[in-house]
Structure 1
């Protein structure tokens, strides 16, 4: 079980994590939460309907990680618009789609990251020992979403667009300052892959 998820009888998944691994995942999830930010009605908790009917932003985020997490719905990097009119139409459709969907997407990503933090906070691994994290099927799906978001965030910081970019980073020398982030990217990828396998029928 060390380093990868295994299926639990009756559904769900389990993985053994040591103190350092718990700390790394928790720290990354907290950073992701800070980057995503609070909900639109975070300053008005007395009005539960405020967030439900709040409109989201119409412009894409400026931060490259958030751009990766919340991409434009009507942009196709492999197919340039045929005219200025088509480009303007795409921007208009993207803005409208973002206005009505981004708040929900952000809420879902916040919930996934919070689920990771809460489940890790319930673990207690001693020095040199591993604790076994056991996830119910719903929690497994939340973890899967959060692991995907964490990998996208790291990929954005490392400028990983395709497989060729990733292959170059795998061969970085140990003294390269990006090496720890690359190792985290690879490790989270292994966790994500094995978690996916536990959810398959």
Structure 2
């Protein structure tokens, strides 16, 4: 089980993590939360679910490329030029969906942090993280968001780019991010496999 998820009887998945892996995952999830930002619901909307449902979000895409990758336009080609009509449709769609999407991404990352915080690490042996089905869904979302963010920072635009990462020299300053990107991909892949078995 070390380093990869395995299915649990009755649903869910488990993975053995050492203290360093727990620390890295928690740090990455907290950084993702900081990137996504705090929730927007304040004042009357915070207490009223109907007001939250109809609260309008931003209409412009984020300026940060990583956030733009996490919250892409719904119309037009990613990174491509949009005509006036596509921009208007994308702005309208974003206005009514981005707040919910941000909230879900926050909940996924918070779910990851909370599950890691609940672990009791026993010496050098680490701990076994057991996730129920809902926890698996949150982890899949958070792992995907972390990979998208790191991939954007590494300027990976397609699978061919990720092949180049394997050939980076050890002294390349991107090497730690590359290792995290590849490791998160392995975790994500084994979690999907565990849930499908």
TM-score interval w.r.t. the shorter chain?
over 0.9
Whole-angstrom CA distance in 1 between matches of 2:22 and 2:133 = 20
Q: How does 1:131-146 map to 2 (within 5 A)?
A: 131-146=127-142
| Other-structure match for 1:148 | 144
Q: Does residue 1:23 correspond to 2:23, yes or no?
A: yes
Whole-angstrom CA distance in 1 between matches of 2:183 and 2:137 = 18
| Other-structure match for 1:84 | none
Superposition TM-score, scaled by structure 2 size: 0.94
Contact 1:5-1:198 within 8 A present in 2 as well = yes
Q: Does residue 1:185 correspond to 2:181, yes or no?
A: yes
Contact 1:39-1:51 within 8 A present in 2 as well = no
SS of the aligned residue for 1:133 comes to strand
Whole-angstrom CA distance in 1 between matches of 2:43 and 2:123 = 40
Structure 2: runs of 5+ lacking an equivalent: none
Among 99, 108, 111, the residue aligned to 2:95: 99
Stretch moving more, 58-67 or 45-54: 45-54
Whole-angstrom CA distance in 2 between matches of 1:185 and 1:46 = 35
Aligned length: 196
Q: How does 1:12-161 map to 2 (within 5 A)?
A: 12-42=12-42, 47-49=47-49, 50-77=51-78, 87-161=83-157
Whole-angstrom CA distance in 2 between matches of 1:42 and 1:160 = 36
Q: 1:31 to 1:80 in 2, by over 3 A?
A: closer
Whole-angstrom CA distance in 2 between matches of 1:46 and 1:62 = 26
Q: 1:69 to 1:127 in 2, by over 3 A?
A: same
Structure 1: runs of 5+ lacking an equivalent: 82-86
Q: Which string of whole-angstrom CA distances, capped at 9 and with x for unpartnered residues, describes residues 95-133 of structure 1?
A: 000000000000100000000000000012244222000
SS of the aligned residue for 1:110 comes to helix
Q: 1:78 to 1:70 in 2, by over 3 A?
A: closer
Q: 1:118 to 1:77 in 2, by over 3 A?
A: closer
Whole-angstrom CA distance in 1 between matches of 2:87 and 2:166 = 36
Superposition TM-score, scaled by structure 1 size: 0.92
